[in-house]
Amino acid sequence: MGSSTPDDQAPPSAEFLAAFRERAVAGGRDGRDGAVLSFAEFMELALYHPGLGYYRRARARVGRSAETDFYTATSSGPIFGELVAAAAVALLDGADPAGFTFVEIGAEPGGGVLAGVAHPFGTARAVRVGEEPALAGRCVVFSNELFDAQPVRRFVRTGGAWRELGVRATEGGGLAECVLPGAVAESWLPAEAEEGYVFDAPRAATELAGRLAEGAWTGVFVAFDYGKWWVQLAGECPGGTARAYHRHRQHNALLARPGEQDLTAHVCWDWLEAALTERGFAGAAVDSQEAFFMRHAGGFLEKTLTAEGGGFSPRKRALMQLLHPGNIGQKFQVRHARR
């Protein structure tokens, strides 16, 4: 986690507080002690409220400028899309890519991983936040940092039991973390944990994977994301995995400036695999980004490096960013499967 600064305590806007209280009233949780939401409800509001949510605002979020908050593989230019296309074709295992629609889920406005990239698919389309994917026929369904941006349920181990964490509106016009009443017994929570252990449960990410995998479409599912296995989430992350990003700095002030900073948490690879296999997908695997491209786009990489010659061209530098373990080659993982 990054350290906090006074700026990380920036209070919510009056508009966000009003939306927060409205949501609490609708859920019957605006009583004598004030408005209260679960952390998952707060995160959903902060990221996806139609007018105030971070991912609904008309502003640049991704890139390397001082006005953006983070950068991803897409920031390396079109070569990322070329790599994705080459790997997707390999995953089709000999099927003609011209018979498939490439569908990017959660693409940023004005962009897309295949924007400006020559590709072999029959068609390509980008599904923005809030749009229905309408998957049908033969598809390559792709996402980049989609699942780690879904709301998480937060739990804390206290008094020998799991209790869910929430967020309350304070009298001073701010927000504060709180513990919701009652113990929680879910089969996917760790049976034991040390006192104070925080478990961030990415249930919404798992549910989203299930919805995308529904229906009769066939083809390949490819998701680039941050993730951990359940055993890691349950035993190696005592503070949870939720974190915030603002102006290219990671920190742990999750309640600061809601709607103006990114909130994210690791997905659970076990749960995503279950969501896919239960709906008929096979060959589910998780690779580091580096290993995924080396394994499934090796021919493209060899051809590209040969064409670039011995110099250190911009395309070679972009490949270094995408593949080198010291950059983001190991930072991201890829969950892929086929039906």
Flag whether 221 is in a domain.
yes
Flag whether 150 is in a domain.
yes
Flag whether 330 is in a domain.
no
Domain count, the chain: 1
Backbone φ, ψ for residue 173 (5° rounding): 85, 20
Which pLDDT does position 71 carry in this prediction?
A: 56
Flag whether 88 is in a domain.
no
Flag whether 309 is in a domain.
no
Residue whose token pair is 């980008």: 126
Flag whether 329 is in a domain.
no
Give the model confidence (pLDDT) of 159-185 as tens digits. Answer: 999 999 999 999 889 999 999 999 999
Across the beta sheet with 243-246, the strand order is: 249-251, 243-246, 262-264
Q: Do residues 186 and 234 touch, judged by C-beta distance below 8 A?
A: no
Flag whether 235 is in a domain.
yes
Which pLDDT does position 7 carry in this prediction?
A: 55
CA distances from 94 to 30, 69, 122, 138 (A): 57, 40, 15, 14
Which pLDDT does position 3 carry in this prediction?
A: 44
Which pLDDT does position 232 carry in this prediction?
A: 98
Domain CATH for 240: 3.40.50.12710
Give the model confidence (pLDDT) of 208-253 as tens digits. Answer: 999 999 989 999 999 999 999 999 999 999 999 999 998 878 899 9
Domain boundaries, position 181:
6-75+97-278
Flag whether 289 is in a domain.
no
**What's at 22, amino acid-wise?**
E
Backbone φ, ψ for residue 165 (5° rounding): -90, 145
Whole-number Å distance between alpha carbons of 240 and 153? 11
Instruction: For the chain, list residues with pLDDT below 70.
Output: 1-8, 32, 63, 65, 67, 69-76, 311, 329
